Amino acid sequence: MSADQVFSPGLAGVIGAETAVGSVDGAAGRLLYRGYPIEELVTQGTYASVVDLLLTGEWHPNAELTPVSVPPTVLAALRLLPAHAHPMDALRTAISVWGAGERLGWPPTAEEAKRIIAFAPSALAAFARLRQGLEPINPEPGLHLAAAFLQQLHGKTPDPATARALDAYLMAGAEHGLNASTFAGRVIIATRSDIASAICGAIGAMKGPLHGGAPAEVIGQLGEIGSVDRAEDWARGKLNRHELIMGFGHRVYRAYDPRAAALRKVAEAMPNRPDWLDLAIGAEEVILRVFEEMKPGRAMKTNVEFYAAAVLQGVGLVPDLFPATFAIARIAGWSAHAIEQAGVDKLIRPDARYIGHAERHLPG
């Protein structure tokens, strides 16, 4: 590394890729998939149509994505995992075993990506049942991916509104620029490795609590708050103790996260809205007001994790499944970036600045 090269911790501000997949405008609070606003996609699209858009660049509103059963080799591997295994580890293991049994080529293809996307929810549902001592079940014919995931998880067909809520969540989580997990996947595919390896690496990056774990923590916070009339004292106490309030603030967004806005509409439209959802909506308004008063000038707006937690709990998921469900959604974006990076076909190999000892020698 030469003396005039600039070091940026965490590669902040460094452009690591050119992409046509997604655009994140943090200042304006805008998120585009292939040029289309996320709000329009969540309102008018389906997860299958969003997957097709991200992978091909074309909008096909009637695109379909048929859920598939877990292959026997993958199911055998999941049976060997301990019940206390992290669901992210189970999902990563499932995709790794699947990839080992496939003849995956290079460059990666949209068809390979769709095959992973079609079986990943079934694999997660299978692990969730196995750890409860229940046998996995196959997806019902005719169900779309989100509905089939809930059916395989709970053992019954979900109502359309509940399935639609999860489908909207999957759309909102499908892509978000060059985040840590997407970058990890692009680094792997740039070595001419296969798409399963890239997805496994991306899952490993997302497993970290700084990336994919916040929605589960939001549920714990709402439990601490308990009721809307306690939200103000709770928020003031957290800020006075310099503690984080999960679900607010974002590394990129300085305006209200557009994914949060889209998911709030979905959550509000869910049938038989439970008390905890009313608590989330009321607490959000109070917390934003406290932020404005105690942290004036700080761009602490609601981010996607806050309403992701509301939707995921609303469709019946337990909190430790939240990160893996997020990963299932993001496989679409990871795959689109993998295909794009393969088109560049250039190894990603940044320099490092050495700060250790000068040359020295072992004692004679």
The Cβ of residue 84 has, within 10 Å, a number of other Cβ atoms equal to 6
Helix H or strand E encompassing 23: strand 22-25
In SS3 terms, 228-271 reads as HHHHHHHHHHHHHCCCCCCCECCCCCCCCCHHHHHHHHHHHCCC
Q: What angle do CA 76, 119, 57 make, to 5 degrees?
A: 150
What is the residue whose two structure tokens read 């939707």? 311
Its sign, for the CA torsion 79, 80, 85, 91, is negative
Q: What angle do CA 179, 265, 290 make, to 5 degrees?
A: 75
Three-state DSSP class for residue 33:
strand
What is the residue whose two structure tokens read 């699209």? 45
Q: What is the DSSP letter of 248?
A: B
Cβ atoms of 351 and 6 within 8 Å: the answer is no
How does strand 36-37 pair with strand 22-25?
Answer: unpaired
The distance in angstroms from the start CA to the end CA of the chain is: 31
> Is 305 labeled as catalytic in the residue annotation?
yes
- Token pair for residue 69? 């059963």
User: Which residue out of 250, 284, 337, 340 is catalytically annotated?
Assistant: 250
DSSP string, 324-345: HHHHHHHHHHHHHHHHHHHHH-
Its sign, for the CA torsion 178, 120, 68, 75, is positive
> Is 250 labeled as catalytic in the residue annotation?
yes
User: Which residue out of 175, 305, 337, 340 is catalytically annotated?
Assistant: 305
143-to-146, 155, 337 alpha-carbon distances in Å: 8, 13, 28
Three-state DSSP class for residue 201:
helix
Q: What does the alpha-carbon distance between residue 179 and residue 195 come to, in Å, rounded to a whole number?
A: 18
DSSP string, 57-91: S---TT------PPPHHHHHHHHHS-TTS-HHHHH
Q: What does the alpha-carbon distance between residue 184 and residue 204 come to, in Å, rounded to a whole number?
A: 9
List, by residue number, the catalytic residues. Answer: 250, 305
